[in-house]
Chains A and B, each alone.
Chain A
Amino acid sequence: NAGVTQTPKFRVLKTGQSMTLLCAQDMNHEYMYWYRQDPGMGLRLIHYSVGEGTTAKGEVPDGYNVSRLKKQNFLLGLESAAPSQTSVYFCASSPGLQFQETQYFGPGTRLLVL
């Protein structure tokens, strides 16, 4: 049971390039989330999904898109990367059985946009 995994671990992009971050979970969780973490700030929610085929915007969705084609995978896309998107990205999942649940996090993807 690997929990939540993220690919890649680290990436460098040039401004304007695109990329996709992959998150996978093997816990059969319904809910999945993408966060970004910047120095001195708490985790900020980018997008989330409450089930296969559904996505919704979080606190800071601009410049990102997501897809949840399979229950176990949640993809985060950057269509045209900007230096402001330099950050550490974390994926998380939760069972989706009740409102009060903890979230389980992946190890993170460190992204540098030049």
Chain B
Amino acid sequence: GESVGLHLPTLSVQEGDNSIINCAYSNSASDYFIWYKQESGKGPQFIIDIRSNMDKRQGQRVTVLLNKTVKHLSLQIAATQPGDSAVYFCAENIADSWGKLQFGAGTQVVVTP
């Protein structure tokens, strides 16, 4: 079946640098995407979302980019901080579904001093 996936399982970033986390999706019917952050021992925490009628959305220090042509989603974190160390998941919602989300396996981001 179609699924959400991530390119890199682990991303090491130096403190202060920008981070880019990638996500590929294969379901062209997906129309809503969410990025979650999960710190060790905690539940996933909402970061930012984007709908399929948008290419870019910005939050506080985070930007999500959506390229529907190649079915690619990315999360950019500006000026990465030690508190950004976590696993980051992307999730997709398929159009006309009742709200069900399909999750990728996640990318571990490690921030080094």
Interfacial residues, chain A to chain B (CB-CB below 8 A): 4, 31, 40-45, 48, 50, 58, 90, 94, 96, 98-108
Contact = CB atoms under 8 A, between A and B. Distances in A.
Nearest to A40: B105
Interface in B36-57: 36, 41-46, 49, 51
Interface residues of B, number: 27
A93 to B, nearest CB: 11
B97 A99 contact: yes
Given A42-B105, A42-B106, A107-B42, A102 B100 contact: no
A90 B32 contact: no
A108 B43 CA distance: 6
A50 B34 CA distance: 20
B46 A100 contact: no
Nearest to A31: B99
Contacts of A102: 34, 46, 49
B93 A99 contact: yes
B4 interface: yes
A5 to B, nearest CB: 10
B98 A99 contact: yes
A40 B104 CA distance: 10
Interface string B82-97: 0000000100010111
Contact of A96 (B46, B99, B100, B101): B99
A108 to B, nearest CB: 5
